[in-house]
Amino acid sequence: LVGALVAGIDAGRGYTDWPLMGGEVLPSESFVLVPFWSNFFENPALVQFNHRLLGYIVLGFATYVWLQGHKSALIAVRKWFTFGFAALCIQMVIGIVTVMNSAPLTLASLHQLWAIILICVLLRGLFEVLYPAEQSVRG
Ligand code: HEM
């Protein structure tokens, strides 16, 4: 949903440096619009910053979830959690490459398509947790 805000106002076309944005951590133009709240939806600087930040937070949380999933005795859970974490890392890389190339159609579409693949892989992992398949003790 936060990605849709970026795509919706073409906020991925500016601030093409990474990890900084225009040489700053938080661009100085982030809160120039009035009223204040409109910056969160209409200011390309803040909209892109928020999407990047949420991506980093999700990556941190996903690392924790992946490590937890790795403790599972179920092979399928371990496998799908690893796929999920790998898919998330790939999504991060595609997002970064997209923004560094000023969001061309091909890369932006790949980033959007991969988000769908990512959700599917995560749902598969969740399914393995909720409805575990029978497994032999011999593996
Ligand atoms: C958890 C990681 C991420 C997820 C799940 C994610 C998801 C998405 C989605 C679904 C969209 C497209 C929305 C739409 O077209 O309606 C999008 C757009 C975008 N994302 Fe991400 N994203 C992630 C991380 C990042 C990162 C780390 C960056 C850059 C540093 C980034 C840069 C962009 C840009 C530039 C767009 C706009 C592309 C366009 O103009 O169509 N994303 N993101």
Assess whether pLDDT exceeds 80 at residue 139.
no
pLDDT above 90 covers what percent of the chain? Answer: 95
- Evaluate: CB of 98 within 6 angstroms of ligand 1: yes
Q: What is the CA radius of gyration of the chain?
A: 18
Give yes or no for residue 2 CB within 6 A of ligand 1: no
Q: Across all residues in the chain, what is the average pLDDT?
A: 97
Q: Does the pLDDT value for residue 137 go beyond 90?
A: no
Q: What is the distance between the alpha carbons of residues 77 and 23, in angstroms, rounded to a whole number?
A: 41
Instruction: Kindly give the number of the ligand 1 atom that is closest to the alpha carbon of 58.
Output: 1
Q: Is 100 in the pocket of ligand 1 (CB under 6 A)?
A: no
Q: Which stretch of DSSP H or E encloses residue 13?
A: none
Interval between CA 14 and ligand 1 midpoint (Å):
14
